[in-house]
A and B are shown apart, each in its own frame.
Chain A
Amino acid sequence: MPHTIAEKILAAKAGLKEVEPGQLVTARPDKAMSHDNAGLVIRQFRQIGAEKVFDPARIIIPLDHRAPAESEKTAAAHKSIREFVAEQGVAAFYDIREGICHQVMIEKGHVLPGELILGTDSHTTSYGCLAAASSGIGATEMAAVWATGEIWLRVPETIRIEVKGNFGLNVYPKDLALYLLGLLTARGADYMSLEYYGKAISQMPVSGRFTLCNLAMEMGAKFAIIPYDAQTEAYLKARAPFKWTPVAADPDAKYTRVVEVDLDRLEPQIALPHRPDNVVPLGKAAGVKLDQIVIGSCTNGRIDDLDIAASIIGRRKVSTKVRLLVIPGSREIYLEALRKGILESLVEAGAVVLNPGCGPCLGAHQGILAAGEKCLATTNRNFKGRMGSGEAEVYLCSPAVAAQAALIGEIPDRILP
């Protein structure tokens, strides 16, 4: 029987010859990632009564959500995590210096094609950028994985995304991701896997693929996978000195739906408050006065994102009406942006650079919004209360749109060269 990538990976990890959508399997994940919420995972792990984790070499813990600790409670949680990883021999522990968990996962070679990876973060779907099947779970579920090395999973149906045409000037993978989200809606891919195909996907670097797979979560996707190709291999060769087994879909695999997108007609997109799938072309939101702009997050905090923002701002100044926060996604990105002069140019323009981490994206700290304030962000969610006050508004866009907005203090109708 022909199969999709999700079906093949789940069959392999469940030790079965083949599986079909709807079937429940018991699978053994290759990696298990947790961030600051490892504090709760540890508590539940103790509650279960297990003594040793199933395999310390498969557990990865970067601290990023509230880093450095913004409160005494978080400080205590971080401390308990540091003690736990020492006790259990978890080598892949990344303290607050490294950056956002998902970015750290791909940079440090913890994601390989064909792997099944679980994480206690909804945006774990991002690892599909390296052709892995990866998904978010809760803390108690992770405690059970740490204790047993197993998890039950439902084999998902797969949606095939066919991308035609080419990205126009100032149109980016984020715009495609937002457009798809608007088209499929917040529940359009609930419980499902996505596979992306087309020339523009083959040509897209891992960074843009990351953005696509990351935002697929907002459609409810369980997995979002870009098939393995030369781009995947090039990225991994420098970072993962391991063997991997790429998994491709069979040519006649069954898809529950095929969605076609024509990039030639795509313009910059923006998600209006308070839902990520409330997506319109940029022009429809033009003129909204802003208080804060955030460029960063696991969605859009990579070197090319910062580079685009810096090149649009150039030698001009950030409007005094707005606060521009820039957050490199990881220490590696931070260093590269320093060396290339990207951060120097952004700081000259008036940006405030924060340490690599999640910070304002989830309203944890560093840039909380007051009632009545409006924020434009390259992040992934604009739910009510997401970045602070429930009376604040968040709009989502690409780094290019965010940079243009920073110059004028309002949502632009277009990006000027």
Chain B
Amino acid sequence: MPYEVLRGSVFRYGDSVDTDVIIPARYCTSFHAAELAPHCLEDLDPTFVKRVSAGDIIVAGYNFGCGSSRENAPIAIKGAGVACVIARSFARIFYRNSINIGLPILSAPEAVDGLNEGDIVEVEPGTGAIRNITRGGVWTADAFPAEIQSIIRAGGLVEYVQKRLASR
């Protein structure tokens, strides 16, 4: 998984996209991706779910995922088919939650400047390479610390802890 290449169209949003607009509390009685995904981002962009295709990529500004600790937020994004989120920065709980449930996220401020709505972008989560296929431009996302890379490589925190407990 780490070295696979993702390729999709860009859906662009601004700064501080909060978890209440990613998935409102009225749907958070469910933890299931299939139930959450149809409502992903509905208060911010009601057309998102209709337009998004499997493999597409969200590109956003600073502080993506601020607000609640609800894990339903990255689950909803992943469930909607989004392959990866690229942002200038991520709010801390969302950052951890995404890594823990296996939603690839990349912090890459310069790439965000060079990616427009609808551009086709290629991403290698394993190396952090980001390429704008439509208009050119290559960037490298901020590298993850080694500890976090191990969680990503395991496919998420559940799998990571399973392995750790098994090796004890």
Q: A: which residues have CB within 8 A of B?
A: 24, 37, 39-40, 43-44, 47-50, 66, 71, 73-74, 77, 120-122, 124, 135-141, 143-144, 147-148, 152, 186-187, 190-191, 218, 220, 222, 275, 362-364, 368, 381, 383-386, 388, 390
Contacts and interface: CB of A to CB of B under 8 A. Distances in A.
B26 A363 contact: yes
Contacts of A120: 69
B29 interface: yes
A384 B45 CA distance: 11
B29 A140 contact: no
Given A74-B29, A385-B20, 15 more contacts: A37-B70, A73-B29, A73-B30, A138-B100, A138-B101, A140-B71, A144-B158, A186-B66, A190-B63, A190-B89, A190-B92, A220-B63, A220-B92, A383-B20, A386-B24
Contact of A147 (B16, B20, B145, B161): B161
Give the 5 A-B CB pairs with smallest separation, nearest first.
Answer: A390-B43, A385-B43, A383-B20, A138-B97, A187-B63
A147 to B, nearest CB: 6
Contacts of A137: 69, 93, 96
B69 A122 contact: yes
Contacts of A122: 67-69, 93
Contacts of B70: 37, 138
Given A40-B31, A49-B165, A138-B93, A386 B20 contact: yes
Contacts, number: 133
B33 to A, nearest CB: 13
A77 to B, nearest CB: 7
Contact of B165 (A44, A50, A135): A50
A48 B162 contact: yes
Interface string B1-42: 000000000000001101011001110011100000000001
Contact of B16 (A24, A148, A187): A187
B19 to A, nearest CB: 8
A381 B24 contact: no
9 contacts: A37-B69, A48-B158, A66-B29, A120-B69, A124-B69, A141-B100, A222-B92, A363-B20, A363-B26
Interface centre among B15, B93, B101, B162, by most A CB within 10 Å? Answer: B93
A74 B26 CA distance: 12
Given A362-B25, A390-B43, A381 B67 contact: yes
B91 interface: yes
A44 B158 contact: yes
B65 to A, nearest CB: 11
Contacts of B31: 39-40, 43, 139
Nearest to A363: B25
